[in-house]
């Protein structure tokens, strides 16, 4: 897809599993959190079943907690971050550094913004300069609702939907983008999610590098 570049281009990127190997790194952290705080062995499959929803909702569902218990669990999870460090996908650094030479990057995630900022600073992606990071407490909406982008559309009045693409790895990412009127490109991270995107008429590339090459070619051709 080549976008209609009439002004500044924006790349909006899903954080978990699109940029970072969150599923591989953090499910183990949530299992360990259950053992430490609640003396419970939560099956990985149970976490997988709810993967992709906001961290607050995930913890409420998996641990059956709310209120002060939920706040304590979120704080403990953040404190354990260095024990289970996030690893970027192999080509994330080169692809995103290339993209940010032509685009403004915006990152969205289902976890807390401050945690994302610390994770980026602690890994090879510390060179990224996103225009904004939106976490789970920055909006009351969540994918697949396109209203998850409401704050972004207000905060960036120069953001033209015709010049903006959302990059994600799941069917809810595509549904949210379509609902908001944004172009969407998928990256292949999980077989079932890729199949769902393709079945719904979306496009999927095998890597962020391939997506970056396509978008940079479109930008330069404009």
203-212 per-position pLDDT tens digit: 999 999 999 9
Do the strands 204-205 and 103-108 form a parallel or antiparallel pair, or are they unpaired? unpaired
How many domains does the structure of the chain reveal? 2
Grouping H, G, I as helix, E, B as strand and the rest as coil, residue 121 is helix
- The domain boundary, picked from 67, 83, 99, lies at 83
Q: Which pTM was predicted? A: 0.90
111 domain residue, yes or no: yes
* Strand ranges in 71-139 using DSSP code E only, listed in sequence order: 103-108, 132-134
Same domain, 158 and 51: no
Same domain, 156 and 191: yes
Res 219: pLDDT: 64
- Res. 42: pLDDT tops 60: yes
> Who contacts 24 (Cβ-Cβ below 8 Å, separation ≥6)?
87
- Res. 3: pLDDT tops 60: no
- Res. 7: pLDDT tops 90: no
Residue 115 phi, psi dihedral angles, 5° rounding: -70, -40
- Res. 1: pLDDT tops 50: no
- Res. 34: pLDDT tops 60: yes
50 domain residue, yes or no: yes
Residue 60: give the domain boundaries.
22-83
Same domain, 168 and 97: yes
- Tens digits of per-residue pLDDT, 43-81? 999 999 999 888 899 999 999 999 999 999 999 999 999
Same domain, 103 and 123: yes
Separation in Å, CA 154 to CA 15, 20, 100, 151, 157? 21, 27, 21, 5, 6
By mean pLDDT, which of 57-71, 182-196, 208-222 is the weakest? 208-222
Same domain, 16 and 27: no
For tokens 């190997």, name the residue.
21
Same domain, 94 and 176: yes
Same domain, 134 and 177: yes
Same domain, 127 and 212: yes
Number of neighbouring beta carbons within 10 Å of residue 122? 13
Same domain, 124 and 145: yes
The percentage of the chain sitting over the pLDDT mark of 90, rounded to a whole number, equals 85
Structure tokens at 77: 């999870």
Report the chain's C-alpha Rg in angstroms.
Answer: 17
Q: Which residues pair with 103 in a beta bridge?
A: 9
3 domain residue, yes or no: no
* Strand ranges in 1-87 using DSSP code E only, listed in sequence order: 9-14
For tokens 């077989």, name the residue.
191
Asked if 134 and 154 count as a contact pair (C-beta separation under 8 A), the reply is: no
- The domain boundary, picked from 35, 56, 83, lies at 83
For tokens 């915006």, name the residue.
106
128 domain residue, yes or no: yes
């Amino acid at each position: 897809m080549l976008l209609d570049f009439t002004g500044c281009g924006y790349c909006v990127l899903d954080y978990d599993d699109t940029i970072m190997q969150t599923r591989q790194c953090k499910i183990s952290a949530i299992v360990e959190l259950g053992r430490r705080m609640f003396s419970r062995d939560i099956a990985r499959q149970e976490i997988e079943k709810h993967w992709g929803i906001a961290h607050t909702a995930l913890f409420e569902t998996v641990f059956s907690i709310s209120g002060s218990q939920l706040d304590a669990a979120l704080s403990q999870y953040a404190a354990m971050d260095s024990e289970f460090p996030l690893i970027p996908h192999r080509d994330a650094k080169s692809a995103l550094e290339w993209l940010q030479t032509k685009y403004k990057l915006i990152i969205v995630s289902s976890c807390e913004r401050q945690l994302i900022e610390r994770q980026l600073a602690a890994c090879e992606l510390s060179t990224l300069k996103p225009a904004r990071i939106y976490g789970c407490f920055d909006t009351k909406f969540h994918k697949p609702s396109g209203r998850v982008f409401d704050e972004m559309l207000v905060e960036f009045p120069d953001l033209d939907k015709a010049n903006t693409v959302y990059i994600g790895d799941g069917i809810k990412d595509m549904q949210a983008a379509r609902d908001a009127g944004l172009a969407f490109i998928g990256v292949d991270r999980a077989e079932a999610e890729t199949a769902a995107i393709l079945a719904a008429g979306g496009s999927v590339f095998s890597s962020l590098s391939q997506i970056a090459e396509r978008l940079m070619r479109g930008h330069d051709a404009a």
